[in-house]
Amino acid sequence: MNNPLDPDPQVPGESGIDTRDVSEIIGDVSDEKPEPNDADDVTDRAVFIGRDGRWAAGWALRFIIFVIAAYIAGKLLGAVWAGLLPILLAILVTTVLWPVSSFLRRKASLPAALAALATLVGFFAVFGGIIAAMTPIVRDQGATLVDQASEGVDRITEWAQGPPLNLDLGEFQNALNDVVGYVREQSSNIASGVFTGLSAATSIVVTIVVMLVLTFFFLKDGEKFLPWLRKYTGANAGWHLTEMLTRTWNTLASFIRTQALVSLVDAVFIGIGLVILGVPLAFVLAVITFFAGFIPIVGAFTAGALAVIIALVTNGVTNALLVLALIILVQQIEGNILQPVLQSKAMNLHPAIVLLSVTVGSTLFGIIGAFLAVPVAATIAVWFRYHSELVALRAGEITIDDIEIATAKGSTITSREAFENVRDKLTSMGRRNPSARPSGSTAASKAGSRIFPRLRRTEDEGTKEE
């Protein structure tokens, strides 16, 4: 019989990991029986039922606590949403404009404030140019589109009443008349709704202004945020936050840029196809397709449906079917070629998670929720993966060499000190010495040496500078 004090290589700990399968583990657990209560060496079932009940009760209590915490967090989120929304939008805009601002500071030697201001002015120039190009098209083709839409609706009505459908639209016309009468009776409520709409528009303008001001400061002082955070959170939590927030920043930046590229491809090919098919407002529809692409799955479907409807009411059923075939073809190329190649590296989220997050976000917060749903889901996934890596490191399943430290590649911290501090903090959490692993890779350490060959500061010196 083995000495219980001797280390077992199959038991997780300092000397190795548990390599047994589930059947062996269950067998070991079943061997640990309480004292029998009769001569037949049979344990009372109530002992095991009570043990299972305590396990279920413990997890039920945890679940209840999580639900209560989520409810409180939702209430707090609703209370501060007006101030939180500009911050979230500013962060997303900053991820897009950061490379430009960084280029102006490092290559053009502009001060941080001037580089941030020039970047914002350039952003306004591009966005304003798009709006200016759309305005005359909508003005010139808008009246014609309304007339064509009215004729198209009449043609569709006649087609539906004829063979082979032979539909009776009298009840539909009566329902429409009832709706019109109800709208006329509710004119006072509509007037009050106009003032409510003006209030909402004012709130939107305030949100946009605050977002732009925050974007300027993020572009100007963004590099100072992580050092400031480490100063007030301490070295232990500070370097974990540095690594986690750097991963979050890289994920959000990759998502926005990748989605912009995918949306641009959709807009260009769909716009060219709409021009060839003679659909009115082709350029406007292409721009709508580009911006709708930032809401994955739902945005592309909505923009495509709008294009098909316009083609249907203006050019007829055949033209609408051709537009539908064009959109399906472009969406298939995007979904099977572009997104698997580009977005798999950017978010690493399953399409079902993306669709579920968009559905929940749009239900809770409308269009803004649908737009922010995927970035929020990607952020939560990054935090979950980081925690999973820390658990695996503490359990001895992996070593520090198996973790790719994002701080070494981040654009916000580019010193050897940052890389080594994050590495040291993670190493201190591991249960095994990386050197004890004969085939272990030192790729992360070598990568840090290649990236930062000139700087050789210690953690203590970095702490003094902070």
Cα 390 to Cα 397: distance, rounded to the nearest angstrom = 10
Q: What is the DSSP letter of 8?
A: P
Q: Phi-psi bin for 396: left (phi > 0), alpha (psi -120 to 50), beta?
A: left
pLDDT at position 408 is 59
Cα-based torsion angle of the residue sequence 370, 372, 375, 379 in order, rounded to the nearest 10 degrees: -120
pLDDT at position 192 is 53
pLDDT at position 72 is 95
Task: Establish whether the linkage from the previous residue to 12 is cis, with ω within 30° of 0.
Answer: no
Mean pLDDT by 10 residues, the chain (466 residues): 49 52 52 52 82 93 95 89 88 89 87 91 87 77 68 69 67 61 54 51 80 91 84 81 88 84 87 89 86 77 85 83 90 74 66 82 81 86 89 84 70 52 68 45 41 38 42
Backbone phi, psi, residue 13, to 5° = 170, -150
Contact 215, 93 (CB under 8 A): yes
Tell me the residue ranges of DSSP E strands in 282-412.
none
Using N-to-C axis directions, what is the helix angle for 225-277 and 416-427, rounded to 10°? Answer: 100
Helix (H, G, I), strand (E, B) or coil at 410: coil
Contact 294, 241 (CB under 8 A): no
Structure tokens at 93: 């805009």
pLDDT at position 417 is 56
**For the chain, domain boundaries:** 83-174+190-392, 395-465
pLDDT at position 276 is 92
Contact 267, 358 (CB under 8 A): no
Cα-based torsion angle of the residue sequence 190, 194, 200, 206 in order, rounded to the nearest 10 degrees: 180
Backbone phi, psi, residue 16, to 5° = 170, -170
Cα-based torsion angle of the residue sequence 409, 412, 414, 415 in order, rounded to the nearest 10 degrees: -130
Helix (H, G, I), strand (E, B) or coil at 412: coil
Contacts of 167 (CB under 8 A, 6+ apart): 160, 161
- Predicted TM-score (pTM) above 0.75: no
Cα 381 to Cα 347: distance, rounded to the nearest angstrom = 8
